[in-house]
Each structure stands twice: as structure tokens, then as C-alpha cells.
Amino acid sequence: MQNVCLCVVLLYSPPGKLAKGDALSWNAAKLLMKEPQKFLDGLLEFKSVVDQGKVPKANVDACRPFIADPEFTPENIGNKSKAAGGITSFIINIVIYYDIVSDVEPKRRALAEAEAKLDAANTKLTQVNALVADLNAQLAELIAKFDEAVGEKNAVIAEAEKCASKLDLANRLVNALASENVRWAKGIEDLTKGLDVLVGDVLLASAFVSYVGCFTKKYRDELISKQWVPYLIKGNVQLSPNPDPLSILVDEATTALWCSEGLPSDRVSLENGAVCTICERWPLVIDPQLQAIAWIKEREQKRNLQVCRLGPGTGSQHHQERS
């Protein structure tokens, strides 16, 4: 424990006046620690004194023989006095810290010199960058003038090409309209003829939507070719040469869309699709193969289709899907 006090006295020795003799004694240590708070504050501030380089190397070296003693440990000293054990830990660590600072200080000076050189280089670099920026500004101004001239030139060329393109399109349009005159005349003639059979074709298509849904293809064909068409002709109702209710109700693009949505492409399925989409009342679909249900789900999915199932719990032996 006495060695701890001696180390403290050595560390606190003034520069060039390392404690010796009576100055390095237990009485000197007690005098140093007579004011506990002041002594504790001194220990807390000692690190900053080391950082400032105010602790002589001789003071630290004088403590090393004590620290080298195997008995000089916080544990051993702490068994006798906890306070002395804490001071022991402080002495050991402050010596280690002093060594680290002593090793780092030359590197700090080298770093300071390097930073000074870097500042000088940065100053020169700033001057060079300012000169480069001025030259770049002049270059940008020249490039802008050049681009403006090129832009005006390209605008004139583009305008000339645009005028030439418009002239070419106008000539082509005039030539095309000349050849379209015959086709338009034929189209007007066909439409005029179509007006004469429009009522009969629509009547046939309406009958088809209203009545043929429950029949198979055989009976549908017989109704149209053997019953309805002869009846309308007999009543002097004008019809197309070969009236087809499906072609009257929908076009090929529509049926192709249905097929892409999952509807089978056979004639009966397409006719059923026309009935379902044209009729104003809800159609009853008898669909044992679930082909129509798959088509309806796919077709109506984007319109937030709601599916209801009627099972045995509601009194039905089979389930239905309705939309």
C-alpha cells in the first residue's frame, strides 16, 4: 500500500524535481492526500495533463519498478484498502496511457505537417479549379452559340422536310381518293340494298334470340330454313339472300374475343353466346360440362362478378351459379 502512495507522489513531482528522500515518503503522500476531494479531482484531471505533455517522462519511469512488482495489482492492494486498490488501477492505467500518448504524439505532429501540406495543396487546387471553371464557362458559352446555330439550321431543314412530306401525303391522298370513288359508290349501293332487307333480317334475328335457345343445332336449322324463312318470304318480308342470325347479331371480331375468353368455337356455342349477350332477360344456362360457366366467369370478372351457390342446405339437390 505504501508503494501506491509513493507512485502517486512520483507522478505528481514537479518537472525536473523528482521526489527523493523525505519528499518520497509516507508523510509526503499523506500531505498530498490530506484534502480527499482535491486529491480525487487531481486524479480525474491527470489524463488531460498527460494529453498536454506536462507529465515528465522521469516521473513515469520512476513508477515502473513498482508496477513491475507482481504484488502490485488492484486485487492484492484492494484486499487491504479498496481506495488504495482503485488508486493502484489508476497508476497502472495512467502509465499505459502515457506510453500510448508518447507513441501517438510524433504521429500527431506528422499528421499536423501532412494536413498543413494538404491545406497548401488544396489552396493551389482551388486556384486551379477556379481557372478551369472560368475556361469551362467560356467553352460553354461558345458551345451554346454553336448549338444555337446548329439548331437553327436543323429547324430549317426539318421544316423543309415537313413541307415536302406534307406535299407527298397530299399527292398520295388525292390519288387514293380518286381510286376510292368507285369503292365508296359500291359501298353506298350495298348499304342502300341492305336497308331493304334490314327489317326482315332483324325480325329473323329477334326470333332466333327469343325462341331457339332450348333447341339443338338440328332443330335450330329446321326452324330457320324450313319454318321461319319460308314463312317470312311467303309474307313478302324481304330478307338477305342467305340470312344467318349469327352474322346479323355479332361480327367475327366479337366471336373471336369470346373464344379467347374460353367459349368453345363450335357453331352452337357461338349461337348460345350471342343469345346470352343480346337478350334483355336473364338466360337460363344448362351447362353440364361447365363450359359456359367458365366463359361467363372470365368475361364478367372485370365487372366484379358475384357467384352464388345453392346447395343441399337450401333445399336444392344440385348447385347453380348465377351472375
Please state whether the predicted TM-score (pTM) of the whole model is above 0.75: no
- At 220, which helix (H) or strand (E)? helix 217-222
| pLDDT surpasses 80 at 190 | no
Residues ≥6 apart with Cβ < 8 Å to 48: none
150, part of any domain: no
CB-based contact 84:1 (threshold 8 Å): yes
**Chain centre distance of CA 138:** 41
Residue 129 lies in a domain: no
Q: Alpha carbon 189 to chain centroid distance?
A: 59
Domain that holds residue 69: 2-121
User: In a 3-state reduction of DSSP, which class is residue 309?
Assistant: strand
d(CA 126, CA 191): 83
Residue 31, domain member (yes or no): yes
pLDDT tens sequence across 135-171: 999 999 999 999 999 988 999 999 899 998 888 888 8
The reply to whether 45 falls in a domain is yes
d(CA 77, CA 67): 12
Is residue 69 domain-resident? yes
Is residue 261 domain-resident? no
- Flag whether 101 is in a domain: yes
Number of domains in the chain: 1
- Whether residue 243 is predicted with pLDDT greater than 60 in this model: the reply is yes
Q: Is 97 a member of any domain?
A: yes
d(CA 7, CA 18): 11
- Average pLDDT value for the chain: 78
Yes or no: say if 273 and 257 are a contact pair by the CB < 8 Å rule: no
